[in-house]
Chains A and B, each alone.
Chain A
Amino acid sequence: MANVFLSLTLLAYYGASALCIAYFLAQRESFCRLGAMVLAVGLVCHTAALALVTWNLGRLPVATLGESLLVFSWTLVAAFLLLFWRFPIRVLGALAAPLAALMVSGGLILPAGKGNVSPLLKNFWVLLHVGLTFMGVAALTLAGLGGLFYLVQERQIKKKRFGFFYRRLPSLEKLDALNYWCLSMGFPLLTVGMVIGSLYAQYTLGRFFSFDPKEILTLIAWMIYAVLLHERLTVGWRGRRAAILALCGMGVLIITFVGAGLWLGGYHSFASFSRQP
């Protein structure tokens, strides 16, 4: 049953991607609205699928990279739709929707989990830790994608070359405001998620910080965002620098999520979730 919902989700996300890219190319308002609607339908299916899987497993399905991608793409789409509703930067869909579609594809292709995970991980606090962290990372990913747009648009205006992107991308101020909005949403979520994880580790393993690769990398990303937020609020860093830092942060988060989860080992890696920590 969950697989039926996931297939529908995948279909909807690819459809929405096509519509969002068509909007980007042709700049027809109707494509964009339709794209958001299809994406919302996809999100409903996605929610149903994740709810079913969680019910069956008795835990959030985040023990393998594939499972995590399914959950993360859910938070990304949810964050995007929230953003779309509150803060309409329409062209962002042309990046966010295909990204979500690819992640769901990855989640379906990658091998499923081996089944049993430690009972320590079947806990409300772990759920909260993962949930909040993912939501934070989703918002920060959107900040990074917005940053990419900002850099492209800024370059066109600075170099006085007005091409394909100049006409299609929104104004610099809007893109910069997106950066700030996503940062001020994502950063606290990420922080709270990390603190909860750390406290739970202290409670169960007896230490706050284990120098696990994923922990170290996440801390680096957190520090990048902390610097960005601090500079934004004190000296008014914005524009290009903010966009570059948001992209750097996103890069570190991707390495953390994919690289550290698969290859670097440590008790946060996907391989270790099936074993006793």
Chain B
Amino acid sequence: MNLLLAGVNHQTAGVELREKLCALLPEAEVSYPLLLSYPEISEVLFYTTCNRVEVLCVTEALAEAQATLSAFFARHPAVTPGALADSLYLHQDQEAVRHLFRVAASLDALVMGEPQILGQVKKAFRLATEHQATGAILNRLLHKTFTVAKRVRTETGIGDHAVSVSYAAVALGKKIFGDLKAKNVLLLGAGEMAELALEHLQSQGVGSIVIANRTLERGLRLAERFGGEAVSLEELESQLLNADVLLSSTGSESYLLTREQVKAVMRRRRQRPLFMIDIGVPRDLEPGINDLDNVYLYNIDDLKEVVDENRERRREAAVQAERLVAAETLKFMDWLKTLSVYPTIISLREKAQAICQAELKKTLGHLGPLTPEQEQALLVMTEAITNKLLHDPIIFLKGNHHRQRGEAELALVRRLFNLEEVNREEPPDKDQA
């Protein structure tokens, strides 16, 4: 029994290819019956996000399953085999487990540490269980995955720090104002950067939005989009009286606001805190403004520095996270390997019991009539002998399992007891859970 993970992600495939492969796996109602119809696949789970398309399955026939999944992804009429061969990765067993852990812990993401992916994997797993596509192995693997992802999050703090300029601005705003609800935003200039930041601010539930732009027309258009109000740049100082957050991104060559102007405004504002973000290059706001009490001025470089620092923190956290993932992968593989020894243990016991029964029958024939107690005593004795003889080999199989030597040792035990003619059985707890 093997694990196999096939798929493409943002690193191996462009968005066009990902879109096409995504189309191969539409709703769960269609996809799961299709995937389960392949005889090599006994358990299966797939998830598609904007950055990846991946299928994870449990198979008894690894080579066939590999061919099947490759062929499955090659079915799309517009996908050339060459392009697919370069992009598709097939991970087996340990690599597959590690890959899944890394995906769920957001170590394999475009922006490392962003938390959405875990929710997507959870949803995919729920769909898979609803369609009875998973069994004992995938159920256990996925539950383990969720624990690992959670541990990575809490123990390394990988998602704690904002890694985009807009997020960083929002995070800073929260440290100044507590939360941004009902805080008034004044926008200077109506550029693209401003739009992006405004979107973030609006998602925090800010209060009124006022847009001051040189050309009123563009300001009006943006104001309409965000449900704000457009004013001209001449009204800047009076508008500043009501604003809590000022976001500036004009192409102006000179400072739009000087220290003296802001100082005067602060007095009229009765010192209510003012958070100013200057993402214009060249700068729109005089740097000295930051020296005033209750005014916090951040320019694009300050914010970038925050972001870079946080990226660095995430990278450090990722090293720790990778170690955690590696350890958990090995633990899971150990569990998986103990599953693989069960068929051998069962055939060992069955063979011993068969020999016992046969020899007992022969002996009883020679001995002539015996009382039921005597017969029982003989039966108990033979069983005790076989059990005691088998005890150590079984302990060896269960316990002394070595990661690399395991397969060889298992084969040796099977040869030693000549078990090959006995059919392999399913793992004992296959249909539990």
Q: Identify the A interface with B (CB < 8 A).
A: 153, 157-158, 160, 162, 166-167, 170-174, 235-241
Q: Which residues of A contact B272 (CB under 8 A)?
A: 236, 238
Instruction: Determine if A241 and B293 form an interchain contact, defined as CB atoms under 8 angstroms apart.
Output: yes
Q: A235-B271, A238-B271, A239-B273 are in contact. Are A171 and B302 (CB under 8 A)?
A: no
Known: A157-B296, A160-B305, A236-B270. A173 touches B177 (CB 8 A): yes
Q: Are A172 and B176 in contact (CB under 8 A)?
A: yes
CA distance A167 to B270 in the complex (A): 28
Q: B177 to A171, Cβ gap below 8 A?
A: yes
**Cβ of B178 and Cβ of A173 under 8 Å apart?**
yes
A239 adjacent to B302 (CB under 8 Å): no
Chain B interface residue count, Cβ-Cβ cutoff 8 angstroms: 23
Among candidates B178, B179, B271, residue contacting A239 with C-beta atoms closer than 8 Å: B271
* Cα separation A158 to B176 with both chains bound (whole Å): 11
Is B290 positioned at the interface, with any CB of A under 8 Å from its CB?
Answer: yes
Q: Are B175 and A240 in contact (CB under 8 A)?
A: no
CA A241 to CA B266, docked complex, whole Å: 14
Q: Is the interface of A mostly helix, strand, loop or mixed?
A: helix
Which residues does chain A contribute within 8 Å of B176, judged by CB atoms?
157, 171-173
Q: In the complex, what distance in Å separates the CA atom of A237 from the CA atom of B269?
A: 11
Contact between B270 and A235, CB atoms less than 8 A apart: yes
Task: Give me 25 A-to-B residue pairs in the complex whose CB atoms sit less than 8 angstroms apart, sorted by A's number.
Answer: A157-B172, A157-B175, A157-B176, A158-B290, A158-B296, A160-B298, A160-B306, A162-B306, A162-B309, A167-B160, A171-B174, A171-B175, A171-B177, A171-B179, A172-B176, A172-B273, A173-B178, A174-B178, A236-B270, A237-B271, A238-B271, A238-B272, A239-B293, A240-B294, A241-B293
Interface string of B241-283 (1 = CB under 8 A from A): 0000000000000000000000000010111110000000000
B396 to chain A, nearest CB (A): 44
CA–CA, A243 and B172, complex, Å: 20
B295, chain A: closest CB distance, angstroms: 9
Q: Chain B residues near A237: list those with CB within 8 A.
A: 271
For the complex of A and B, list the 9 residue pairs with the smallest distance between their C-beta atoms, beginning with the closest: A236-B270, A171-B178, A236-B271, A239-B294, A173-B178, A174-B178, A173-B177, A171-B175, A172-B176
**Which B residues are CB-close (under 8 A) to A240?**
293-294
Return chain B residues, CB-CB under 8 Å to A174. Answer: 178
Which residues of chain B from 62 to 93 have a CB within 8 Å of any chain A CB?
A: none
Residues from 172 to 191 in B contacting A, C-beta threshold 8 Å: 172, 174-179
Tell me the complex Cα distance, A238–B294, Å.
8
Which residues of A are found within 8 Å of B267, using beta-carbon distances? Answer: 235
CA separation between A154 and B178, bound complex, in Å? Answer: 13
Minimum CB–CB distance from B238 to chain A (whole Å) comes to 18
Q: Which residues of A contact B293 (CB under 8 A)?
A: 239-241
Residue of chain A at shortest CB distance from B305:
A160
Instruction: Select from chain B the residue with minimum beta-carbon distance to A174.
Output: B178
In the complex, what distance in Å separates the CA atom of A162 from the CA atom of B177? 16
Output the nearest chain A residue to B244 by Cβ-Cβ distance: A173
Q: Residue of B at shortest CB range from A177?
A: B178
